[in-house]
Amino acid sequence: MATKTKFLTAINFVAMVLSIPVIGTGIWLSTKQDNECVKLLQWVVISLGVVILVVGLLGCMGAFWRVQWMVVLYLLLMFVLIILLLTLVVFVFLVTNRGSGHGHIVPNRAYREYTLGDYSGWLRHRVHAWNRIRNCLASSTTCATLTQRYPLAQDFFNAHLTPIESGCCKPPTLCGYTFVSATYWISPINIGEDMDCLTWNNDQTQLCYSCNSCKAGLLANLKKEWRVADVVLLITLIALIWVYLVGCNAFRRAQTEDIFDQYKQGYT
């Protein structure tokens, strides 16, 4: 009986430990500038991880003290949490699956440029309240550091810029602006018809923060980060399902053996 109790406690402890990658993923996302500005689902991930931790602790206590109702409650709640985590994993996959999200190649440039059409409607809807997001991005040092890092035009053109740097810190290449510095460009005589060409401003507080290319760059960053997070959550989900099934089987066998022991005691 002591061996069965220890095994079931250990299994429930593993379930509790599996909350760590979920919580860690949410914290990692919340530390990213783009997620901080948009606030998508990182707090949902953190909250889900904390609940898994609490439920896992409940299961450990129930198994260790052999309190049947606590173990049963743990199994029921963990089943619900597995369904919720599965739903989250599938949802993130679906909303980040549309389009390549890798950006478009620009001739004679190492960086890529991005368009809003490459992303799902749900992601595009996240940038509708753009004024708040714009102010959040403009308050960062993302664009300010480019001038020091790439003082020469060729250095800048050969740079592998992040999607936000490419979309928010410079005008689109098709506009035909002439490089002066990474965040200061001379307007051509005939500006293209693209609205981003007219939106660009050399004012360091404006730049291309109001451009569609900036919105697309932000979504490209978000998509990349959430795809990484989704892989971590998927691996955790698979491990959690395995632990849950082993725990259910261990609990069922323990119950069967208890009934058999009680029957033998009554018979003798």
Residues 50 and 94: beta-carbon distance below 8 Å: no
Taking 70 as the threshold, does the pLDDT of residue 268 lie above it? no
Predicted confidence at residue 1, as pLDDT, reads 45
Residues 42 and 50: beta-carbon distance below 8 Å: no
Q: Average pLDDT, stretch 89-110? A: 88
Quick one: what percent of the chain has pLDDT higher than 70? Answer: 92
Please state, in angstroms and rounded to a whole number, the distance separating the CA atoms of residues 43 and 40: 8
Where exactly are the structural domains of the chain?
A: 2-100+224-267, 104-219
* Predicted structure pTM score: 0.89
The residue among 192 and 32 whose pLDDT is bigger is 32
For the stretch 216-248, pLDDT in tens is 999 999 999 999 999 999 999 999 999 999 989
DSSP for 55-124 reads HHHHHHHHHHHT-HHHHHHHHHHHHHHHHHHHHHHHHHHHHHHSS--S-EE-TT-SSEE--GGGS-HHHH
Taking 80 as the threshold, does the pLDDT of residue 267 lie above it? no
Predicted confidence at residue 190, as pLDDT, reads 83
Q: Average pLDDT, stretch 13-23? A: 95
For the stretch 104-146, pLDDT in tens is 999 999 999 999 988 988 999 989 889 999 999 999 999 999 9
